[in-house]
């Protein structure tokens, strides 16, 4: 296979399709999304059988449990994928919205109109559901997409893409709205990253290695979906029961995700009351605790956290715990060791809640809620193409709006520049 040719052809075709997609009616786009959902559900068996091939390969290669779990497709997950497509079809079409319009002294009206970005390249690992999520969000927002999934999910991804493309074309989409890179060869990624004349934005989703590779080699703008070293800070004015519930959920509900908590920061004023029952609850759930000296002094038999622990995204049942003297120290800790992903405070103090909201530099800042809620569906975006840790264009969960940009429009009646 001519990898370079295949990649640039996929990108070029997507560019052509994007011109038609940008002005396609909402009705056609929505019909296509519904047809895609039907196709996934009615082909459930063949999807699971393709997924089985990937899982067997994964097993023989000894993939880490967290990654294996992400790779698995079952009827529920397929149903969820289809449901995601239907939800996206039911969302308002963002394209063409005029978000604001104002009048200038010379009488012209200036406004901003929401338009598709153009062609989006998605480079991802592990989760096959990204194929459907990414395609649906790109299409609904009027963008063409070029998909490049990981080699570990090639069979699942290829089958999903095939079903989506087939259903989409039958419903009236331009045939090349969804491009799919057929080869698992990493060289293909390198070529994809150089298609700056045909691709407008690259969204990588995967491990640090992939993100770094993409950032280093891309001549196309990149929105990173980087690691999440997320913190929950338990303030001295926290409701202790709420703090326990939120902390437990943030760590235990699904530890393999980027918005799971990695470090628990506890105000020294509540540490003695909060930590013993909290840590006992964590330990019952199989969570290994690594604590600072103060934590060790409060609860016996805990391993000491090293400097490295504070910056680690465990993606598993390990939690670092640190007792801090105040909110400032907690925020400084987040800035020093965190990844600006999702951060939470638990407090009943109004002024502290407001200060935390403004001061903490993260893509999502929570008061009295679990960082696990940092998610496109949970936020009501309809779906999610990833959680941006880049500081431009979009921060945090990206849905439909985040896949568009705004062009200026001017309604004049003969205005010129003086």
Site for a second copy in 100-119 (CB under 8 A): 102, 104, 108, 110, 113, 115, 117-118
DSSP labels for 201-254? EEEEES-HHHHHHHHHH-SS-B--B----EEEEE-TT--HHHHHHHHHHHHHS-
Inter-residue contact 300 to 275 (CB < 8 Å): no
**Residue 241 CB: number of other CB atoms within 10 A?**
9
**Residue whose CB is less far from a second copy, 216 or 307:** 216
Give the whole-angstrom CA distance, residue 101 versus residue 41.
43
Q: What is the SS3 assignment for 256?
A: coil
The token pair that represents 126 in the structure block: 């592990």
**Residue whose CB is less far from a second copy, 80 or 335:** 335
Least distance (Å) from a second copy to the CB of residue 249? 4
Instruction: Work out whether 170 is an interface residue with a second copy (CB under 8 A).
Output: no
Q: Which stretch binds a second copy (CB under 8 A): 31-39, 161-169, 179-187, 240-248?
A: 240-248
Choice from 62, 209, 301, 414 touching a second copy (CB under 8 A):
414
**Residue whose CB is less far from a second copy, 167 or 223:** 223
**Residue whose CB is less far from a second copy, 45 or 407:** 407
Instruction: Work out whether 271 is an interface residue with a second copy (CB under 8 A).
Output: no
Instruction: Work out whether 14 is an interface residue with a second copy (CB under 8 A).
Output: no
Residue whose entry in the numeric block shows the structure tokens 């060869």: 185
Which residues in the 185-204 window bind a second copy by CB under 8 A? 196, 200-201
**Residue whose CB is less far from a second copy, 33 or 95:** 95
- First-last CA distance in the chain: 59
Choice from 80, 239, 288, 349 touching a second copy (CB under 8 A):
239
The token pair that represents 1 in the structure block: 């296979």
Which residues in the 363-402 window bind a second copy by CB under 8 A? 363-370, 372-375, 378-380, 390-397
Per DSSP, 199 falls in state: -
- How far, in whole angstroms, is CA 401 from its chain's centroid? 14
Q: E strands, 89-137, where?
A: 98-103, 109-116, 119-124
Instruction: Work out whether 93 is an interface residue with a second copy (CB under 8 A).
Output: no
Instruction: Work out whether 410 is an interface residue with a second copy (CB under 8 A).
Output: yes
**What is the size of the binding site for a second copy (CB under 8 A)?**
73
Residue whose entry in the numeric block shows the structure tokens 């023989």: 60
**Run of H or E including 397:** strand 396-398
Instruction: Work out whether 334 is an interface residue with a second copy (CB under 8 A).
Output: no
**Residue whose CB is less far from a second copy, 291 or 338:** 338
44, with CB counted inside 10 A (0-12, 13-18, 19+), is: middle
**Residue whose CB is less far from a second copy, 23 or 297:** 23
Least distance (Å) from a second copy to the CB of residue 307? 18
Whole-Å CA distances, 114 to 93, 241, 406: 10, 44, 5
**Residue whose CB is less far from a second copy, 168 or 396:** 396
Instruction: Work out whether 69 is an interface residue with a second copy (CB under 8 A).
Output: no
**Residue whose CB is less far from a second copy, 300 or 351:** 351
Give the whole-angstrom CA distance, residue 90 versus residue 412.
35
Which residues in the 129-148 window bind a second copy by CB under 8 A? none
Inter-residue contact 400 to 382 (CB < 8 Å): yes
Instruction: Work out whether 285 is an interface residue with a second copy (CB under 8 A).
Output: no
Least distance (Å) from a second copy to the CB of residue 342? 9
């Amino acid at each position: 296979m001519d990898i370079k040719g295949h990649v640039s052809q996929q990108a070029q075709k997507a560019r052509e399709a994007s011109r038609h997609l940008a002005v396609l009616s909402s009705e056609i786009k929505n019909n296509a999304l519904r047809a895609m959902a039907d196709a996934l559900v009615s082909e459930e068996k063949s999807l699971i059988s393709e997924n089985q091939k990937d899982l067997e390969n994964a097993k023989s290669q000894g993939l880490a449990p967290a990654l294996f779990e992400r790779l698995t497709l079952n009827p529920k997950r397929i149903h969820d994928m289809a449901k995601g497509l239907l939800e996206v079809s039911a969302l308002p079409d963002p394209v063409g919205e005029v978000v604001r319009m104002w009048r200038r002294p010379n009488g012209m009206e200036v406004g901003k109109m929401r338009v598709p970005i153009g062609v989006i390249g998605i480079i991802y690992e592990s989760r096959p559901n990204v194929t459907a999520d990414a395609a649906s969000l790109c299409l609904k927002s009027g963008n063409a997409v070029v998909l490049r999934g990981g080699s570990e999910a090639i069979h699942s991804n290829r089958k999903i893409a095939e079903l989506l493309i087939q259903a989409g074309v039958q419903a009236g989409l331009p045939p090349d709205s969804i491009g799919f890179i057929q080869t698992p060869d990493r060289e293909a990624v390198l070529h994809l990253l150089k298609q700056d004349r045909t691709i407008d934005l690259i969204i990588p989703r995967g491990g640090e290695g992939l993100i770094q590779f993409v950032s280093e080699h891309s001549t196309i703008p990149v929105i990173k979906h980087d690691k999440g070293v997320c913190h929950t800070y338990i303030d001295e004015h926290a409701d202790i029961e709420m703090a326990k519930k939120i902390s437990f959920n943030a760590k235990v509900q699904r530890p393999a995700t980027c918005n799971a908590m990695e470090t628990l920061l506890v105000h020294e004023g509540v540490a003695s009351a909060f930590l013993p029952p909290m840590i006992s609850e964590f330990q019952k759930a199989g969570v290994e605790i690594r604590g600072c000296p103060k934590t060790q002094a409060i609860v016996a038999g805990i391993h000491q956290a090293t400097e490295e622990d504070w910056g680690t995204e465990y993606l598993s049942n390990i939690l670092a715990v640190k007792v801090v003297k105040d909110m400032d120290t907690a925020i400084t800790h987040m800035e020093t060791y965190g990844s600006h992903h999702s951060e939470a405070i638990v407090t009943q103090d109004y002024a502290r809640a407001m200060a935390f909201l403004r001061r903490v530099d993260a893509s999502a800042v929570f008061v009295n809620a679990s960082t696990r809620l940092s998610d496109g569906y949970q936020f009501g975006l309809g779906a999610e193409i990833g959680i941006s840790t880049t500081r431009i264009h979009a921060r945090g969960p990206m849905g439909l709006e985040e896949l568009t940009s705004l062009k200026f429009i001017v309604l004049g009646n003969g205005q010129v520049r003086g």
